[in-house]
Amino acid sequence: MTTYIQKLRNKSVRNAEMKLSKHRELGIKSPYNVFEVAEFLDTIKNADSETGQVETIFFSVNMN
């Protein structure tokens, strides 16, 4: 089950990165508004922090 969740997170991050890249290329002609771009950035940023939290939990269990 955790493998499925990790793949789902990776897929959502990849999609956000692709849309953000498209937004950068199109500039003013981009179909995305400010709020959508902010959501893409949040998706990418939060994926990194969630991975760190999971590793921290496993590290603490290992130490006990």
Distance CA 32, CA 34 (A): 7
2 within some domain: no
What confidence score (pLDDT) does residue 7 get? 85
Angle at 12 between CA 53 and CA 32, to 5 degrees: 120
What confidence score (pLDDT) does residue 16 get? 93
Domain count within the chain: 1
Q: Kindly give the parts of the chain with pLDDT less than 50.
A: 64
- What's the N-to-C CA distance of the chain in angstroms? 25
- What is the model's pTM? 0.67
52 within some domain: yes
Nearest to 24 by CA among 45, 16, 64, 9: 16
What confidence score (pLDDT) does residue 56 get? 54
Residue 41 structural domain: 12-22+31-64
What confidence score (pLDDT) does residue 26 get? 94
What confidence score (pLDDT) does residue 41 get? 92
The residue type found at 35 is F
45 within some domain: yes
36 within some domain: yes
50 within some domain: yes
6 within some domain: no
What confidence score (pLDDT) does residue 38 get? 93
The residue type found at 46 is N
Task: Compute the residue count for the chain.
Answer: 64
